[in-house]
Amino acid sequence: MPELPEVETIARNLRTGNISESPDRESLIGAQITAAEVLWPRTLAAPETAEFLQRIIGQRIRRIGRRGKYLMMHLDRDVLLIHLRMSGDIRVVSRAEPAANHDRLVLELDGRRRLAFNDTRKFGRAWLVVDPEEILAGLGPEPFDEHLSPDRFISLLQKRRRQIKPLLLDQSFLAGLGNIYTDEALFRARIHPRQLASTLSEQQGARLLQAIRDVLRAGIQSDGSSIDWVYRGGGFQDQFQVYGRAGEPCPRCHTEIERELIGQRGTHFCPKCQPRPE
């Protein structure tokens, strides 16, 4: 469930305290970690549980941010990084609340509420590190980075002889896009997901960067997307134009939307608006 807009929404909500189940709806900034529990050891990528507990207990949350799809919680001395992968979610509940079914890592805050990393599929990971660059160094630019001009983006595309969709999913090329927002951006830019990056025209490259930013901005404005049984209050799923709409008419030209596996991922596109290059 988590692509850039969903992680951004979570980070903002934790900062402002706009969290539905939280007892007092107070910001997490300034909260002290008074206890912690690791319920599924593999969720904690580093360090080992014993060192993790010993280091994190007593620290206060000072800043909450995001880089790519990573949630970043800056503490007094360390940074807690969380990647939600496919099914992760963050909940804040009162301390009295019993642990939920798939809670994997729980932090008790000020002895009265708890922040739980819940993750059905157990793909998610958390790291407690001094320097987050240890983990984040390989990420490509943020989509909204002002240094990422259309010209710069175009020149990055021209260096890559690779299908555009898998390239956009590659976090070392650009950080934050996942399967949904990639399909939506390519549709809005009218680019076929299999077109080789190096063959995109300047106009297509500029259009694509614009579409990526538009789609991510719209996603954030809707508080992200909520699909299936995982619901966090986002509404962007109602604005999907192609994702999950195979067989339905294209909103632009009414041709049937197609679904095809590209790089092992279900890919949705309009065969007429996004013509397949020879």
Partner DNA sequence: CACGAGACCTGTTCGC
Partner DNA sequence: TGCGAACAGGTCTCGT
Contacts with DNA by CB under 7 A lie at: 1-3, 6, 42, 68-69, 83, 85-87, 101-102, 120-123, 160-163, 166-167, 169, 171, 178-180, 224-230, 234, 262-266
CB of 112 to DNA, least distance (A): 29
23 a catalytic residue: no
Distance CA 54, CA 51 (A): 5
Task: State how far the Cα of 165 lies from the Cα of 143, in Å rounded to an integer.
Answer: 15
Active site residue 265: yes
Q: How far is the CB of 33 from DNA (least distance, A)?
A: 26
Q: Left, alpha or beta for 111 (phi > 0: left; psi -120 to 50: alpha)?
A: left
Q: At what angle do helices 202-221 and 150-158 cross, to 10 degrees?
A: 120
Closest CB to DNA among residues 198, 201:
198
Task: For 212, list phi and psi in degrees, rounded to 5.
Answer: -60, -45
Instruction: Give the residue with the Cβ less far from DNA, 25 or 42.
Output: 42
Which CB, 23 or 244, lies closer to DNA?
Answer: 244
Q: Which of 15, 252, 265, 272 is catalytic?
A: 265
CB 121 within 8 A of CB 86: yes
Interatomic CA distance for residues 157 and 113, integer angstroms? 47
What stretch of H or E contains 85? none
DSSP classification of residue 197: G
**Nearest distance from C-beta of residue 160 to DNA, angstroms:** 4
From 69, 113, 194, 207, active-site residue: 69
In this complex, which beta carbon is closest to DNA, that of residue 109 or of residue 242? 242
User: Known catalytic residue: 165?
Assistant: no
Q: Is 2 a catalytic residue?
A: yes
List residues with catalytic annotation: 2-3, 69, 265
